[in-house]
Amino acid sequence: MPWTWQQPDWPRFTWDASRLAAAEQQYLVAGGVLLGTVKHLGEEERNQLTVEAMSTEALTTSEIEGEMLDRASVQSSIQKQLGLAADNRRVAPREQGIAQMMVELYRTFAEPLSEDMLLAWHRMVMSGRHDVADVGQYRTSDEPMQIVSGAVGISKVHFEAPPSAQIPCEMKRFIECKSGLGQHNRTGSRRLFPL
C-alpha cells in the first residue's frame, strides 16, 4: 500500500467532515470549559497550569520519538525561560532545548509559520545531540526515514517519509498552504492542502 505522499491525489485529498463533527464539538466544549476555569484562577495558579501544560506537551512529544525526559527539569527550564520562580537544578541540554521550544511556541503561536521558525525549533529540540547529522536543516540522508517498531529482523514499518530530496519542496508547499486548512469544497468535505 502506498504511503499518503505516494497517493495520486497528494496533497489534494479530502475527508468527510461529518465523521469528525462529534469529536470536534467535544474538543470545543472542553476548550471552553478550560478557558472559563482559567479565568477564575489567580496569576500564580494560571502560571502553574501553563507550565504544567507546556511540560506535558514537551514530554509526550518526546516520548513519541522514544526519548524519556525528566519532568522536573523540563518544568524548571520552562519556568526560568518565562521569568517565573524556579529551582536551581542543573538541566540537561535535551530538557532545556525542548523547554526553549515550548516557550517559543507559547510566545509566537499567532505568528505565521515559516521555514526559519521550523528550523529554529529543530535546533532547539536537538540541543546537545551529537547523533543527528542535520540539526537545524532538512534531512539530507539517502536512507529512508521510517517509523519502525519491533526487534531487528522482525520489525514493522508504520510509516516512511518522502525521500530527503523531496523535503524542501514538500515543506515549502506545507508552509504556503497551511492557511488554507479547513476550507470547504463543494461536496461539504474538507480539503487538506487545497492547491
Q: How many CB atoms lie within 10 A of CB 95?
A: 27
* Grid cell of 178 as nine digits: 497551511
Average confidence score pLDDT of the chain: 86
Tens digit of pLDDT for each residue in 28-71? 999 999 889 889 999 999 999 999 999 999 999 888 878 899 99
Tens digit of pLDDT for each residue in 138-163? 999 999 999 888 898 899 999 999 99
Give yes or no for a contact between 138 and 164, defined as CB atoms under 8 angstroms apart: yes
* Grid cell of 156 as nine digits: 514493522
- What is the DSSP code string of the chain? ---GGGSTTTT--EE-GGGTHHHHHHHHHHHHHHHHHHTTS-HHHHHHHHHHHHHHHHHHHHHHTT----HHHHHHHHHHHTT---------HHHHHHHHHHHHHHHHTTSPP-HHHHHHHHHHHTTT-SS-S-TTS----SSPPEEEESSTTS-EEEEEPPPGGGHHHHHHHHHHHGGGTT-B-TTS-EESS--
